[in-house]
Amino acid sequence: MDFKVHNFVRIEVQVPEVGESISSGVLSVWHKKNGDQVRAGEALFSLETDKISTEINAPESGVVSMLVGEGEEVRIGQVVATIEVNSAKASCSTPSSPVEEPKELSTDSPPARSEGKKEKQEDSFPAKGIGVKEDSRITRRRLSPLRKKIAAQLVSAQQSAAILTTFNECDMSAVIGLRKHFQGEFQKQYKVKLGFMSFFIKAVVSALRAVPVVNSRMEGDELIQNHFYNIGVAVGTERGLIVPVLRNCEQRSFADLEWELLKFAAKARSGEIALEDLQDGIFTISNGGVYGSLLSTPILNPPQSGILGMHKIQERATVMQGQIVIRPMMYLALSYDHRIIDGKEAVAFLIHIKDCVENPARLLLVSC
């Protein structure tokens, strides 16, 4: 009788390093369940830290066994699962044969994770660290690392800086007309829509050049003056607010900016924002108008010294040349660190943005 011998090697799956200064996170979701076959490079679990949320892939193909439940805090380097890898093909005569990969059922689309599968996964492995408690009146759950980081940063910003906000409003007629006139040609040439944000990014760069003190930050008892223009754009996600950074905006065309914004939006939705995408910003723009906000006071994104709040475009009655007219108006809010920036400079900065938006042809001039 010919006996088949299967050799198996059990490898450990550790939490990998995902960025400097990140020492732990929460294993938020398992994409497999106990006993599932996993392929090398396939998403195994999601790790949520105080800075990013990312998918961790399986290092080898084999059968997965979980050691940690969903919602548990894990350390970088901690073993969270094992994978049983078949190290021989099927017989004693060929012990060094390569591992036979499982056949893929379909490559048309990625497998959907349904609610039913989620329930089965929880049944097959009791998730012990989720931190959710329910009764008939309340649900209590532990804050995610990202939400805790956001909370701590917002409180720190309020406590460590002298935040003041100044307001103005701008007439969006010119930008709306420009977009309407060139939208078709712009999309045809650049394969992306011309949005409002690229105008405001260009206006902010122009204002930072005109009022350079806003492009600075406090570091201990020193004032650091920046000579580059990396603009962060706040993006709301299901996990919380993140601020990806568009680099060297003074060198970017409108089309470049729109493509970069589109890329970051897609990465934010899929949870693929990398740590380096969030670093080195010198000024932030936050658009509460997409949620219907008419007016707000944005909070600084430390160590930056300024943040611009955009708001909902709303038709309002306004007086122009002695006549009451209806115009699409937007309130603008500039929050700034009053330790560095005086009121006069803040007002000049905000008026410069208003002028650029109301006269967008200025953005094409080198001096603007």
Q: Does 225 fall in a domain?
A: yes
Pairing of strands 235-237, 306-310: unpaired
Q: Which amino acid is at 344?
A: K
Q: Hey, what long-range contacts does 146-152 have (CB within 8 A, 24 or more apart)?
A: 146/48, 146/49, 146/50, 146/51, 146/52, 146/53, 146/239, 146/240, 147/239, 147/240, 148/50, 149/50, 149/51, 150/240, 150/241
Q: Does 240 fall in a domain?
A: yes
Q: Domain count of the chain?
A: 2
Position 362 scores a pLDDT of: 84
Position 109 scores a pLDDT of: 37
- Domain at 156, CATH number: 3.30.559.10
Give the confidence band of 108 by pLDDT, cuts at 50, 70, 90: very low
Give the confidence band of 359 by pLDDT, cuts at 50, 70, 90: very high
Lookup result for tokens 């990625």: 110
Active-site residue flag, 338: yes
Q: Which domain holds residue 77?
A: 8-141
Domain identity same for 244 and 332: yes
Phi, psi of 116 (to 5 degrees): -60, -45
d(CA 317, CA 160): 40
Average pLDDT value over all residues in the chain? 83
Least confident of 4-8, 235-239, 266-270, 273-277: 4-8
Domain identity same for 266 and 328: yes
Instruction: Give the number of residues written for the chain.
Output: 368
Position 97 scores a pLDDT of: 38
Domain boundary pick from 122, 141, 160: 141
State both tokens at 16. 């990998």
| Mean pLDDT within 54-75 | 90
Domain identity same for 91 and 215: no
Position 294 scores a pLDDT of: 94
Active-site residue flag, 342: yes
Least confident of 34-38, 49-53, 118-122: 118-122
Position 88 scores a pLDDT of: 52
| Mean pLDDT within 164-188 | 96
Give the confidence band of 117 by pLDDT, cuts at 50, 70, 90: very low
Q: Does 1 fall in a domain?
A: no
Domain identity same for 128 and 190: no
Q: Does 261 fall in a domain?
A: yes
| pLDDT tens digit sequence for 143-166 | 777 777 778 888 888 888 899 999
Domain identity same for 194 and 119: no
Position 87 scores a pLDDT of: 62
Q: Does 2 fall in a domain?
A: no
Q: Does 3 fall in a domain?
A: no
Q: Which residue among 36, 256, 338, 355 is the active-site one?
A: 338
Domain boundary pick from 141, 161, 177: 141
Domain boundary pick from 119, 141, 163: 141
0.85 exceeded by the pTM? Answer: no
d(CA 143, CA 152): 12
Give the confidence band of 272 by pLDDT, cuts at 50, 70, 90: confident
Domain identity same for 101 and 156: no
Rg of the chain over Cα atoms, rounded to whole angstroms, equals: 26
Q: Closest Cα to residue 179, out of 360, 368, 367? A: 360
Domain identity same for 101 and 161: no
Q: Which residue among 50, 342, 352, 355 is the active-site one?
A: 342
